[in-house]
Amino acid sequence: MKKKTVFRGIATALITPFKDGRIDFDAFGRFIDWQIENGINALVACGTTGESSTLSDKEHRAAIAYAVQRAAGRVPVIAGTGSNEFDYAVDLSKYAVSVGADAILVVTPYYNKATQNGLIKMYSEIADAANAPTILYNVPSRTGVNIEPKTYAALAEHPNIVAFKEANGNISKIVETMSYVRGKMDLYSGNDDQIVPLMAMGGIGAISVLSNVLPRETVSICDRFFAGDVAGAAELQCRYHALIDALFSEVNPIPVKAAVSAMGFSENSLRLPLTEMEEEHKAKLLSLMRKEGLAV
């Protein structure tokens, strides 16, 4: 069973710019254009970095539809549609597909802490209902539940479940998972500090926070790897380690919103319970950005 690959390389987990308490669509559009002009391979709207859990239903739908419209087919657009409320996840997934999203990204249900059987049933039914390429999103540090390797193996048999974004940080678990699903699902790193290690295990890219500020350079990590220059890819992975660390010195997307604001793309505006970056952390982040020649 040959499944569709949604993208190879780097998809930016886009921030959602705010102004005066609302989505700043002008800033969002400029940022999407800049990302595409700088060679990004795909875009993710309304993921964790996009503060999806703070968006109203109306805002969530509007942001997805706008990202699809603004990208205008230049790169694939993946819509974050996961929820801990099953019917809402189904409805939002179907909506995203109806407005042209190329795939959906569905996070494990937070707070509910589903069993592994519950995950299999939930993901299978969402993938059936959306009838579109579905990417699983595993981030147990946020949701309280991990997709176990044998659960991935079961889900890999579903024709619409094409890939998974892995952010559990456990390389041993990822190796075990790939021993079951290689050739059945694509793997994307969900952690910027593990792009090269996960590609070494058969991954084909990452859904990235780093690429919000360095899209072309983050894509270069994958390009070098795909070209057979593993040492060169590893060199870039190491070069950007300090910047990646600074972008996660506080909970995402607090630092990356400060970074994008410093680059002049949007206001440094977040929604509670997130608050602006602490000055000590911000100073270090901006110092590292200046070393990379960013306009801050």
Question: For residues 277 and 254, is the Cβ–Cβ distance under 8 A?
Answer: yes
Q: Is 165 among the residues known to form the active site?
A: yes
CATH code, 76: 3.20.20.70
- Locus of tokens 């559990």: 168
For residue 251, is it within any domain?
no
10 Å CB burial of residue 88 (0-12, 13-18, 19+) is middle
Question: For residues 275 and 51, is the Cβ–Cβ distance under 8 A?
Answer: no
d(CA 263, CA 250) in angstroms, rounded, equals 19
d(CA 31, CA 43) in angstroms, rounded, equals 11
10 Å CB burial of residue 201 (0-12, 13-18, 19+) is middle
Among candidate residues 137, 152, 188, 240, the one labeled active-site is 137
pLDDT score recorded for residue 294: 85
Segment 132-148 shows an average pLDDT of: 95
pLDDT score recorded for residue 296: 62
Domain housing 88: 9-216
pLDDT score recorded for residue 293: 87
pLDDT score recorded for residue 182: 93
**Does a cis peptide bond (omega within 30 degrees of 0) precede residue 253?**
yes
For residue 208, is it within any domain?
yes
**Does a cis peptide bond (omega within 30 degrees of 0) precede residue 273?**
yes
At 53, list the tokens: 């859990």
For residue 290, is it within any domain?
no
For residue 268, is it within any domain?
no
Tens digit of each residue's pLDDT (9 = 90 or more) over 26-85: 999 999 999 999 999 999 999 999 999 999 999 999 999 999 999 999 999 999 999 999
For residue 280, is it within any domain?
no
Expressed in angstroms, the distance from the first to the final Cα of the chain is: 48
10 Å CB burial of residue 126 (0-12, 13-18, 19+) is buried
**Total domain count, the chain:** 1
Q: Is 58 among the residues known to form the active site?
A: no
pLDDT score recorded for residue 1: 59
For residue 35, is it within any domain?
yes
For residue 62, is it within any domain?
yes
Query: Residue 158 pLDDT more than 80?
Result: yes
In eight-state DSSP terms, residue 83 is -
Among candidate residues 95, 123, 152, 165, the one labeled active-site is 165
Segment 232-255 shows an average pLDDT of: 97
pLDDT score recorded for residue 295: 63
d(CA 180, CA 182) in angstroms, rounded, equals 6
Query: Residue 282 pLDDT more than 80?
Result: yes
For residue 253, is it within any domain?
no
pLDDT score recorded for residue 79: 98
